[in-house]
Amino acid sequence: MHTLLALPIIDGPVPWVLGGLSVALILVLAVRPGGARQRARAFAAAAAGALLALAVYLVVNATGAFGDPLPGFVLWSAMAACGAIGLALASFRRSRWWRKVVAGIAVAVFAASGVVAVNAGFGINPTLGSLFGVVPADTIALPPSDAGDDPPDQPLYETWHAPADMPATGRVGTAEIPATVSGFDARPAGIYLPPAALVADAPALPVIVFMMGQPGNPDPSFLAATLDAYAAQHDGLAPIAVVADQVGANVVDTACADSTAYGNAETYITKDVVTWVKAHLHVIDDPRWWVIGGYSNGGGCAITFAAEHPELWKNVMDISGEPYPGSEQPDNIEKTVYGGSTQAFEASKPVNILAAHPGAYDGMAAAFTAGGDDPTYVTAAQTVSAAAQRAGMSVSLDIIPGAGHTGDALTSGLQITVGKMYPALGLSPG
């Protein structure tokens, strides 16, 4: 089961195998006995399937059911899959048993091929498990931790010398972080330990607490790949990373707040996760070497937590972040999380928290990114980064040409923001 859940569905053979099978099955089903009338019925069924997909796409975008409009690749993938399914369904009528069997198999293959194609377009769920919201329990072995390590006298890059037996890449896995204070129903966190953390007498390292989007999983794959690439260029040095679950086992938009409806998401991240990291990981116990970061929903949570708790972390990574937690369904969040209080909801927004505490953020560094083809989130990044700068943070904002709000925005955003963090964390020269 673990192997199946870990099956890659963006890279690797799966998309090609499904695509090849789909083409072969379409050719088999398109060759129909019975003359022009049967072929016309098959064509009509395929056209009906494609038009149904088009209609659903237009309704979803018109009603804003998923927040921002769905990208074009969703339409083309859905029309192709539904059109092929229509062809397969037409093959059940007045056909031999073997054609019915082939048609039944084809329906499953066409549906799977469409889902994999859409997922590849978004580029967020790299494995079968992550697509279905199941991260395989691959518990990581944590090296011994010296809790409460003092800040280094010099930047790590000046004093660190990689030993000959240091691994070439870091270690990735999961860990249960108990919700001791919050009681929040969180899924296991993703953990990344860089090469420098896996040797004898390893140095205390900076740490990134990161949050993914909603819906989404605490999957460390993308962040780990970026940190491994940077570690390879810096003698194995990289932050230890914890990808924590701010949306919970029910995968809802908690607005990163404490609420009766969805549980104490804020307390879980700011107390339970922080306490666990200090107790179990060999990290520098000083907010100057701590980063709070996130993507999309997680990005909005990251800048909110940074604004609310500057005593916990002095660095922020906000990748295509929401302008405020709950921005995709504000009416529901105001009612469900904040009990209908507009005043409480407004007070929770990062721009308002920042404005209320000018001067509290001196010495904090914040790196923002957004995809150039993602206008809603470009505006969000511009608005929130400007508020952070006015409040006293040292701010950078990068708009990524050609990127939307999917995998390209995440991978490029991580490369940019991690690069901005390296000098601030003493891992490279400024």
pLDDT tens digits along 213-250: 988 889 999 999 999 999 999 999 999 999 999 999 88
The enclosing domain of 158 has a CATH number of: 3.40.50.1820
pLDDT at 73: 83
pLDDT at 60: 84
Q: Which two tokens stand for residue 252?
A: 């809802």
Asked if 420 and 357 sit in the same domain, the reply is yes
> Is 127 among the domain residues?
no
> Is 128 among the domain residues?
no
Read off the pLDDT of each residue in 145-151 and give the average, rounded to a whole number. Answer: 62
Asked if 357 and 236 sit in the same domain, the reply is yes
Asked if 44 and 179 sit in the same domain, the reply is no
pLDDT at 2: 57
Q: Number of folded domains in the chain?
A: 2
> Is 82 among the domain residues?
yes
Asked if 192 and 109 sit in the same domain, the reply is no
> Is 104 among the domain residues?
yes
Asked if 115 and 201 sit in the same domain, the reply is no
> Is 429 among the domain residues?
no
> Is 99 among the domain residues?
yes
Asked if 106 and 162 sit in the same domain, the reply is no
pLDDT in tens, 29-45: 887 666 677 778 888 88
Instruction: Report percent pLDDT > 70 for the chain.
Output: 94
Kind and range of the H or E element at 175?
A: strand 171-175
Asked if 95 and 224 sit in the same domain, the reply is no
CA dist 262 and 250 (Å) reads 9
pLDDT in tens, 253-265: 999 999 999 999 9
Higher-scoring residue by pLDDT: 203, 139? 203
Last residue of a domain, one of 91, 122, 153: 122
Cis, peptide link before residue 215, omega less than 30° from 0: yes
Are 99 and 91 within 8 A, CB to CB? yes
Are 325 and 348 within 8 A, CB to CB? yes
Q: Is residue 1 scored above 60 in pLDDT?
A: no
Last residue of a domain, one of 87, 122, 157: 122
Last residue of a domain, one of 73, 93, 122: 122
pLDDT in tens, 268-299: 999 999 999 999 999 999 999 999 999 999 99
Asked if 112 and 168 sit in the same domain, the reply is no
pLDDT in tens, 182-214: 999 999 999 999 999 999 889 999 999 999 998
User: Reduced to 3 states, what is the DSSP secondary structure of residue 305?
Assistant: helix
Are 9 and 125 within 8 A, CB to CB? yes
CA R_g for the chain: 24
- For residue 231, what are the domain limits? 140-424
Read off the pLDDT of each residue in 106-134 and give the average, rounded to a whole number. Answer: 81
> The pTM is what?
0.85
Q: How far apart are the first and last CA of the chain?
A: 46
Asked if 192 and 85 sit in the same domain, the reply is no
Residues 6+ away with beta carbon under 8 Å from 305: 256, 266, 269, 270, 292, 312, 313
Mean pLDDT for the chain? Answer: 89
Asked if 346 and 294 sit in the same domain, the reply is yes
Asked if 56 and 168 sit in the same domain, the reply is no
Asked if 260 and 150 sit in the same domain, the reply is yes
- The owner of tokens 């899924």 is 187
> Is 163 among the domain residues?
yes
